[in-house]
Amino acid sequence: MEKINIVSSQDSGENHVSIGIEIGNDQSILWSASIRQKLSERSNPSLGTTSCIYRVHQRIRKMNEDSYTPDMVSIGPYHRGRDKLQAMEDHKLQYVQSLLDRTRDRITLEKYVEALKELEPKARGFYSEPISLSSKEFVEMMLFDGFFLIELFRKNFNVVEVDDNDPIFYSNSRRARVVGDLVLVENQIPILVLQTLFDLSKDPNQDFQPLIKMALFYFHTLIPEAVHKYPQNNKNITHNHLLDLLCYTLDSSLPKVTKPRLSTTAHSLPCVSELRCAGVKFKKGHRSSSLIHIKFKEGVFEIPPLCIDDYTDSFFRNLIAYEQYRFDGAHYITSFAILMDYLINSDEDVAFLRGREIIKNHLGHDNKVSFLFSHLCSEVSNTDFYYSELCDEVNEYYSQRSNKWNATLKRDYCNSPWTIISVIAAIVLLFLTAWGTVFTTLQVFNVHA
């Protein structure tokens, strides 16, 4: 039903009356009520504030689809139920049954379920998309995936004995593929869930190591000595998921930035070959340092060693994707990838860094490493570049002509003992020739005088 209201108004300066017609429609009331109901029924009201497990945008995903898709095991809801991952689901159930059998004298399955039911609303808020699973399905997923990861870490740390027929631990290929799957940004569950299940299932006579330490030990192939690089004095830090834990382990050893905000100025660097022509030296950094803790001082680049294998590309892509989406934190890994892209412009640059033991290449030809770094940050926005000051120092050193002259002298004339002897002999011969010329000229001058 439509309502018609007559509204009149009269200007103070003129004898003019205007009549307006307001038409109210009951449909607008009904539509508004429907909108309010949908807003109140949002499945994830905290979306955008606590979410930290993301879907990778197609713009980034298209650069390398396989780098963001699990190959062996699904963790969390995003890839749950995919046909190619079903073989591992039965293996999860074996791990779950093993854990329940081992802990049944201390705690019942019902206690685990009750704890997860309490965590469900908060756990759902970790995902950037609404999860369509029912409450029962969501709790079941967290229990299966959580117990699988906890048992995996315990077996790897020798807290729990590995079965003779365990396909993960008796196949290096499968083991590496599982490691790669567990660091995908789309393939995560909250560490809050893992920690809760771990604490409930802990055996006081057997579980002496914290969950974080066992998790870092499991990923040592991706971050060598990760347990030692993780700051031991920070007991209050919390992590969102396993990828966030590894990202923090890489970032935490970096020097604190003094500026209130990291520089967004565009930077560039000459490649390794060009820098060498200006006398820049390259030195392998300490293995105990974070791989992204790169330093430059007095013409010397110090870069921690980096092992590059079949899973390096995927690992870095997911770290970079996580930096792109998370709400806080600087783009350290993205900055590292961009800096290495600057330095490596050809397979000759890779070969030189490999000769300095800065890069260990397990991919085969050096041009594969060059290709990897040149494509890591395609379609990625770099809002904060961590190495801006380092680039300024390197470019200033590179622009000084005296450094290039000294480098040329050392490279062309002082690169071997015989070359040095030849240079000295040439200088002596030149001096004697000049002296003979002067002496002869003086004799002629005295005769004429």
Distance CA 49, CA 79 (A): 23
Q: Is residue 144 part of a domain?
A: yes
Domain boundary among 251, 286, 303: 251
Residue, of 243 and 253, whose pLDDT is higher: 243
Distance CA 223, CA 253 (A): 13
Q: Is residue 260 part of a domain?
A: no
Q: Are residues 87 and 186 in the same domain?
A: yes
What average pLDDT does this structure show over 60-76?
94
Q: Is residue 151 part of a domain?
A: yes
pLDDT classification of 401: cutoffs 50, 70, 90? low
Q: Is residue 265 part of a domain?
A: no
pLDDT classification of 6: cutoffs 50, 70, 90? very low
pLDDT of residue 26: 76
Q: Are residues 305 and 162 in the same domain?
A: no
Q: What is the pLDDT of residues 101-129, one digit of tens each?
A: 999 999 999 999 999 999 999 999 999 99
Q: What is the pLDDT of residues 199-225, one digit of tens each?
A: 999 988 888 899 999 999 999 999 988
Beta bridge partners of 21: 6
What is the DSSP code string of 114-182?
HHHHHHHHHHHTTBSS-----HHHHHHHHHHHHHHHHHHHHHHTTSSPPPTT-TTTT-HHHHHHHHHHT
Q: Are 174 and 168 in contact (CB under 8 A)?
A: yes
What average pLDDT does this structure show over 50-55?
89
pLDDT of residue 261: 46
pLDDT classification of 287: cutoffs 50, 70, 90? confident
Q: Are 120 and 139 in contact (CB under 8 A)?
A: yes
Distance CA 308, CA 314 (A): 11
Q: Are residues 293 and 389 in the same domain?
A: yes
pLDDT classification of 253: cutoffs 50, 70, 90? low
For the chain, give the mean pLDDT.
84
Instruction: Please count the helices (runs of H) and the strands (runs of E) in the chain.
Output: 18, 7
Distance CA 353, CA 66 (A): 28
Residue 2 three-state SS: strand
Q: Is residue 337 part of a domain?
A: yes
Distance CA 88, CA 21 (A): 69
Distance CA 245, CA 437 (A): 76
pLDDT of residue 136: 97
pLDDT of residue 208: 86
pLDDT of residue 56: 94
Q: Is pLDDT of 407 > 50?
A: no
What average pLDDT does this structure show over 242-270?
72
pLDDT of residue 424: 62
pLDDT of residue 38: 77
Distance CA 108, CA 143 (A): 13
Q: Are residues 227 and 342 in the same domain?
A: no
Domain carrying residue 421: 416-448
Distance CA 156, CA 213 (A): 12
HSE-CB at 430 with a 13 A cutoff on CA atoms is 6
pLDDT of residue 379: 86
Distance CA 319, CA 247 (A): 7
State which H helix or E strand residue 295 sits in.
Answer: strand 295-297
pLDDT of residue 436: 64
Q: What is the pLDDT of residues 264-279, one digit of tens each?
A: 445 689 999 999 999 9
Domain boundary among 194, 220, 251: 251
**In terms of C-beta distances under 8 Å and separation of at least 24 residues, what long-range contacts does 228-236 make, across chains too?**
228/288, 229/253, 229/288, 229/289, 229/290
CA-based max dimension of the chain: 132
**Range of weakest confidence among 221-235, 274-288, 410-424:** 410-424
Q: Are residues 6 and 114 in the same domain?
A: no
Q: Is pLDDT of 62 > 60?
A: yes
Q: Are residues 278 and 199 in the same domain?
A: no
Q: What is the pLDDT of residues 308-320, one digit of tens each?
A: 999 999 999 999 9
First to last CA, the chain: 131
Q: Are residues 119 and 15 in the same domain?
A: no
pLDDT of residue 268: 83
Distance CA 278, CA 283 (A): 16
pLDDT classification of 425: cutoffs 50, 70, 90? low
Q: Is residue 377 part of a domain?
A: yes
pLDDT of residue 188: 98
State which H helix or E strand residue 373 sits in.
Answer: helix 366-375
Q: Are residues 123 and 243 in the same domain?
A: yes
Q: Are 23 and 2 in contact (CB under 8 A)?
A: yes
pLDDT of residue 35: 83
Q: Are 47 and 125 in contact (CB under 8 A)?
A: yes
pLDDT classification of 78: cutoffs 50, 70, 90? very high
Q: Are 27 and 3 in contact (CB under 8 A)?
A: no
Q: Are residues 135 and 211 in the same domain?
A: yes
* Cα–Cα separations (whole angstroms), residue 399 to 5, 167, 395: 78, 56, 6
pLDDT of residue 270: 93
What's this model's pTM, rounded to 2 decimal places? 0.80
Q: Is pLDDT of 54 > 70?
A: yes
Q: Are residues 304 and 336 in the same domain?
A: yes
Q: Are residues 200 and 135 in the same domain?
A: yes
3-state helix, strand, coil in the chain (%, to 5): 50, 10, 40
Q: Is residue 89 part of a domain?
A: yes
How many structural domains is the chain composed of? Answer: 4
Q: Quick one: tokens of 371?
A: 């290709």
Q: Is residue 50 part of a domain?
A: no
Q: Are 313 and 376 in contact (CB under 8 A)?
A: yes
What average pLDDT does this structure show over 169-177?
91
Q: Are residues 241 and 291 in the same domain?
A: no
Q: Are 304 and 290 in contact (CB under 8 A)?
A: yes
Please list, residue by residue across 390-405, b when 16 or more beta carbons sit within 10 angstroms of its beta carbon and e when fewer do.
bbeebeebbeeeebee
